[in-house]
Amino acid sequence: MAETDIKGKSVLVTGGASGLGALYAEAFLKEGAATIAILDIQAEVGEATANRLNNNYPGKVLFINCDVSSEDAITAAFEQVVSEFKQIDVIINNAGIMSDAPKVWRNASDVNWQGVVSLTMKGVKHMRKDEGGAGGTIINVSSTAAVYRWRHLPIYSGSKMAVLHFSQSLAVEPFYEQTGVRILTICIGPTDTPLMLGLRERAYDDKTGEELVALDAEYKKQYQNQKPESAVAVCLQKFKEGANGSIWLSLSDKPARDITPVISAAFKEFEKLSEP
């Protein structure tokens, strides 16, 4: 079975109870995925989503209540998915918290960054062909905040840049040649999801929060937040066409764009500075 063929694949999606995560899960089911595991901290919403999807795709969806800021919770959930499905072919590290608020940012960073690292490394260990695995694909969800200096949410932006750089660094060859695991990254721009609500409370102080609300209003005079379906379409296209280590952009309802050459060129310039 080709690695870019979704049919028959077992998929794990974090943050899959609602928003883009739930849409990713449904899209992969429509494309023929064999099983989907949804991991999320929202127990009631997650159960409802799993029940709804199972009505259309009987017995294919498993919900696991999991806080991806907790290593113990991640380990238990991952082991449960492996026990149920026997094999995981695709991991979509979608869970994220966009907040620099004083009482939230540390937990948000654990979700946005350490949760992604933990599930990625567990996925690599499980999938890698040189240790008896079947290969697979890991999709790490970053943001346009990773490539734009967004001063209103510097902590969130830093976590998303960490995801991008971690993913591209891990994927450097001979990684794929040895493991048979593709690492793909998607940078998602402003999208019409609950993540874009309550912006004032997401900033690190009140003044910055007010500026963020004003910036959002100004942005919407010229542009619209993209539809969630656009981000899902980019995710599907990236899975079907993306080379290991590639970075894809989902922005303004435009078709998927592979921005790997742009990112790679920038890093090559940085690397020249460190040459003797």
Concatenating the DSSP letter of every residue in 85-145 gives HS---EEEE--------TTTHHHHHIIIIIHHHHHHHHHHHHH-GGGT---EEEEEEEEGG
What strands lie across the sheet with 35-40, from one edge to the other?
61-65, 35-40, 10-14, 90-93, 136-143, 181-188, 247-250, 257-258
Length of the chain, in residues? 276
User: Known catalytic residues?
Assistant: 156
Taking the mean position of all CA atoms in its chain, how far away is CA 185? 7
d(CA 26, CA 180): 26
Residue 110: how many CB atoms within 10 A of its CB? 18
Specify the amino acid at residue 27. Answer: A
Residue 5: phi, psi to the nearest 5?
A: -95, 120
Q: What is the dihedral of CA 221, 153, 41, 116, to 10 degrees?
A: 110
Per-residue model confidence (pLDDT) at position 1: 42
- The model's pLDDT over 219-255, given as tens digits with 9 standing for 90+, comes to 787 777 899 999 999 999 999 999 999 999 999 999 9
**Third-level CATH fold of 10-273:** Rossmann fold (3.40.50)
Under-70 pLDDT residues of the chain: 1-2
Q: What is the pTM of this model?
A: 0.95
Specify the amino acid at residue 74. Answer: I
Per-residue model confidence (pLDDT) at position 195: 79
Residue 103: how many CB atoms within 10 A of its CB? 7
Per-residue model confidence (pLDDT) at position 215: 86
Identify the DSSP state of 192: S
| Per-domain boundaries in the chain | 10-273
- Beta pairing, strands 247-250 & 257-258: antiparallel
